[in-house]
Chain A
Amino acid sequence: MSTITRILNRYKNRRTYNKKEFVDKIVRVIFMMSTILSASFIIIIIIFISLKGLTPFVTSNSGIGSVNIISFLTGNVWLTGTAFQSSLYSIGFIIVNTLFIAFLSLLISMPVGVLTALFIAKIASRRISEFLRIVVELLASIPSIVYGLFGSGVILIFVYNLAEAFGIQSRGGNSVLATVLVLALMTLPTITAISEVSIRSVNKDIEQGSLALGATRTQTNFKVILMSAKSGIFASAILGIGRALGEATAVSLVAGNSKSGPSLGVFDITSTLTSTMLEGLKETTGIDYDIRFSVGLVLMVVILLTNLILNYIKKKVGSIDVK
């Protein structure tokens, strides 16, 4: 028996069972703890937002009277009466505005983003696509306030002149259209980046299979590659709409912050749940402050529901996936 064999046997026949299993168990518990910690934040947020956000509905708001939840969710004037002295808040029209705007912005950013991704992944040369990818990554990290700056410095003027060209008097360009354009710009990097990854991960065999059957490059790109990358593209839409619904700073600079509605004309001023929240957060107590948390609560519910619906559609779409 060689020395090595003796040493190895010594290590192998040590009763390692307990120790190693024990280490595994400990490590598992540590990892599980951090998972529970990660998961607990959403619960903390929900509890905290609910506590604050439900206050206006269940308390008398120091004598003003509680907010009626039905009219809060369905009404079409933000506040009737004086701030801090009235409980007649409603956000029905703001919910409609928010969904309308998010939908329209996705309508622009989806095709543009996906086709840009297709261009980067399949058409452009290596060098150009490398460059474009860096541009997209940079844009994803631009603070939203800068998008707001661009919106108020360029897009508002563009929309104002556009409306004039159509013979419509817009309110300084503050409009549904300006908001939609800013949000489309902001969601573009997210959609492009994620779609590109999913387009790139489409199996080469499928692509070559299509080409081998005599399809042209363009036909292959549209009929096979985009179809196969469908679920990833859908995921990018979900993230995109999340950002569109949750964006606050930039939107409040171009929306015009209307106080009644809903606003369905493209040149009409509008408001979103986030811009409404942001406007009153300067104060720190009182009903006009607490009600912003109710708006935040509604916003989270809206985002959750949208995600659920989109995920459901994604599953439906995914089940007829081209494999």
Chain B
Amino acid sequence: MNSIFEIDNLNLHYDDFQALKDINIRIEKNKVTALIGPSGCGKSTFLRCLNRMNDLIDSCKITGEIEFKEENIYTSNYDVISLRTKVGMVFQKPNPFPMSIYDNVAYGPRCQGIKDKNILDEIVATSLKSSALYEEVRDRIKESALSLSGGQQQRLCIARAIAMEPEVILMDEPTSALDPIATLRIEELMNELKKKYTIIIVTHSMHQAARISDNTAFFLMGELIEFDKTNKIFTTPKNQKTEDYITGRFG
């Protein structure tokens, strides 16, 4: 198995509350991995561990190991900023910056010190093309990103993330704020993207998980209950709790 993330004995506490309990999981490269489970089960928290976004929360304590490309990312001198350029992220609500479309996409590369206009132009064009937004916005690339529709905004956020050419894209319920048509377009996009990138997606919708993912992990009360090929999880779950959840008995 060609894994990009290897997580061993991961425990996470917010003050006294244990949000993740003893997680062990291997994430496969160039596959879509879906994380499912009821609200508050720890799936989003887990996702945010992978690019160390949990660092921003003071009360958050983590033990265990997360290896990204065979290197533990939770060591004191690990380069977090470089990690985040390799592990991109798309959030629940579309959150483009109040700048132009161009500046939004060019933001990441600029932060890394790329100033050459030609290179930036090419990055922006490529990213917008790969996120299937280019045709819609090519004439108003200097206009405010806030003038786009919700679905377009979310695709812009994806373009912004892939402008850095990361190896992994983390998606935290990327379609929960969108209408069905916009959701469909994002899902199509993910199918394209997984050729090049490893995608880890948190989703509320089991149908979405079934449609797009290769592997699925089921979280409950901070524990990883089951992790397997998506079709196995949805057809022959090994664990009773998983079966209860996907058949809609709770959650």
Contacts and interface: CB of A to CB of B under 8 A. Distances in A.
A15 B85 CA distance: 13
B81 interface: yes
A113 to B, nearest CB: 34
A70 interface: no
5 contacts: A7-B114, A7-B119, A12-B112, A16-B81, A17-B81
Given A7-B114, A8-B109, A13 B165 contact: no
A16 B112 contact: yes
Nearest to A5: B165
Interface of A: 4-5, 7-9, 11-13, 15-17, 20-21
B126 interface: yes
Contacts of A20: 81
Nearest to B122: A4
A230 B123 CA distance: 51
A11 B114 CA distance: 8
B113 interface: yes
A15 B113 CA distance: 13
Contacts of B165: 4-5, 8-9
A5 B80 CA distance: 20
Given A7-B119, A8-B112, 8 more contacts: A4-B165, A5-B165, A8-B109, A9-B165, A11-B114, A15-B79, A17-B82, A21-B81
Contacts of A9: 165
Given A7-B114, A8-B164, A8-B165, A13 B122 contact: no
Interface in B158-198: 164-165
B239 interface: no
Interface string B63-99: 0000000000000010111100110000000000000
Given A17-B79, A17-B81, A20-B81, A12 B164 contact: yes
A12 B82 contact: yes
Nearest to B165: A8
A136 B25 CA distance: 63
Contact of A11 (B80, B112, B126): B112
A11 B113 contact: yes
A5 B165 CA distance: 7
Contact of B79 (A4, A7, A16): A16
Contact of A12 (B80, B86, B126): B86
Contacts of A5: 165
Contacts of A13: 82
A121 to B, nearest CB: 26
